[in-house]
Structure 1
Amino acid sequence: MESLEAELDRARDLDVADLADAIESIGFECTRCGSCCKAEDDDPHTATVFPDEVREIQSEHDEEYDWRDVARPMPYGLDADEETSDRTGQTFEWALQTDGCGDCTFYEEDDDGVGACSIHGDRPLICATYPFSVALAGTSQPMGEAVDESGMVRAHECEGLGRDISRSDAEALAATLKERAITELEEAIDVRDEYRPVDADDRVVVHDSEGAKTDDGTLIE
């Protein structure tokens, strides 16, 4: 298995035109169905958001959101007390915050059921590139296995697949997809390098690219 550094080099060498060709061949148009923003069965919506993305959302919205309004600890690896529901344990990275139904907190629907993102211009890279990912180790594969592939590009379940997409839109999406692949690998390398054991017997500890943090995004000294 190649190192994360080798995969990062491969991500930086990705050709945007080739990625756009693959996206065009698969086809995509967002139908605003909201499936990628909602809880799936009994599982809350889980989309990775990195520290810089959390801060960008905060800054672009005049700091109206605190850290926990935007992000929550990725749930994997955490234990919940059956009586109090308090969580303890250690996890890696952050997920977008959810509402009481498990949907993304920034997802909205109009009276006709048409979905919209209230932070659309500042949404995380994983949201901006859905339903696509690249086939590189160390990058995330959203919402299960791929349902279509073309070269390095994988497409995940979405009702918008197979629809016509313009070349300009495919190229823009491809450029963002490359940016995401690079960012995810840089983050993975930094998480590995910044990791250190921390006591989490009575609290949640999140390990991200900046070190170990409490659930409100504060670094643990």
Structure 2
Amino acid sequence: MADDKKKKKEKVKTPKEETEKTEPAKKPAKFKFECTRCGACCQNRDSIPITFTDLARWTKQGSFMNVILPHLELRGLSEDDELGKLALVPYIIMEDVDENGKGKCPFYDDENKMCNIYFTIPIFCKTFPLSFNGEKYYTSDPTCEGIGKGDMTKEALIEMRNNAVRDYNERADTTIAMVPLQGLFIRHFMKQSQQTVDRLSDEEKEQLDELIKKSKDESEEPQEDS
């Protein structure tokens, strides 16, 4: 009788519970990507970070740098990044920027749905949408419709991962190098400015002082309400 009562008290396992214990944990889905040429990543995006390697390549291509340079601007990184507070790094600036700070890449041809500088695109674009943060890989834009599509070979995946690591390392090196470079440029231009002032005659110095004083007074004048 005691054995019968014990058997009744034992919990009967459901098929689901049995399956959960016997089946091994599922492996994360393999990363796959195939560009669908939808243009979303080129038309609604933040500014594109540029590295010294990108700049060197474009400079070696001669006049091509003149095409890209008008769209470059130095900007700071995230305010949460201590290094970013000190360094200004080059970016490709977007056009038609909305209230969220996103816009269209100036090199994207929306009529033909293609990049006009595809053969020499920045490393940041080359690795999209796979990114690397120094510890692990991640998708920089999970909404990209090309993720999960196509047949990605082992070799293609390795190449994408290598490009993601390269992008991370090149951007880190560029940011670090920009800190002392900015100091050198500032010191150089201050020295040149001082040399220019030293070459002025006393009369020219007085005229310069008057211009500076006038400019300062005008900037301090209260603005009338319209």
TM range (shorter): 0.5 to 0.7
Q: For residue 156 of structure 1, what is the aligned residue in structure 2?
A: 140
Residues 1:99 and 2:99 are matched in the alignment? no
Q: For residue 215 of structure 2, what is the aligned residue in structure 1?
A: none
Distance 2:110 2:57 in 1: 24
Structure 1 regions of 5+ residues with no counterpart?
1-22, 78-89, 138-151, 197-210, 214-218
Q: Is the 8 A contact 2:88 2:175 kept in 1?
A: no
Pairwise CA distance, 1:73 = 2.6
Distance 1:220 1:133 in 2: 37
Name the aligned partner's letter for residue 137 of structure 2: V
Deviations 1:162-195 (A, max 9, x none): 1232223212212212221221222232234445
The alignment's TM-score, normalised by the length of structure 1, stands at 0.54
Q: Which structure's residues are more often strand, by fraction?
A: 1
Change (3 A) 1:24 1:166: farther
Name the aligned partner's letter for residue 133 of structure 2: A
User: Counterparts of 1:1-40 in structure 2 under 5 Å?
Assistant: 25-40=30-45
Distance 2:159 2:38 in 1: 21
Specify the structure having the higher radius of gyration (Cα): 2
Deviations 1:94-136 (A, max 9, x none): 21143346311111123xxx52111112111110011111132
Name the aligned partner's letter for residue 55 of structure 2: V
Q: Is the 8 A contact 1:134 1:154 kept in 2?
A: yes
How many residue pairs get aligned? The number is: 148
Q: For residue 121 of structure 1, what is the aligned residue in structure 2?
A: 119
Name the aligned partner's letter for residue 127 of structure 1: C
Pairwise CA distance, 1:153 = 0.8
Deviations 1:14-61 (A, max 9, x none): xxxxxxxxx981211111111221235xxxx41101244134234436
Q: For residue 172 of structure 2, what is the aligned residue in structure 1?
A: 185
Change (3 A) 1:135 1:61: same
Q: For residue 69 of structure 2, what is the aligned residue in structure 1?
A: 68
Name the aligned partner's letter for residue 146 of structure 2: G
Distance 2:76 2:177 in 1: 20
Q: Is the 8 A contact 1:48 1:94 kept in 2?
A: yes
The alignment's TM-score, normalised by the length of structure 2, stands at 0.53
Residues 1:174 and 2:175 are matched in the alignment? no
Name the aligned partner's letter for residue 139 of structure 2: A
Name the aligned partner's letter for residue 27 of structure 1: K
Q: Is the 8 A contact 1:69 1:97 kept in 2?
A: no
Q: Is the 8 A contact 2:130 2:161 kept in 1?
A: no
Change (3 A) 1:155 1:183: same
Q: Which structure's residues are more often helix, by fraction?
A: 2
Structure 2 regions of 5+ residues with no counterpart?
1-27, 79-85, 98-102, 191-226
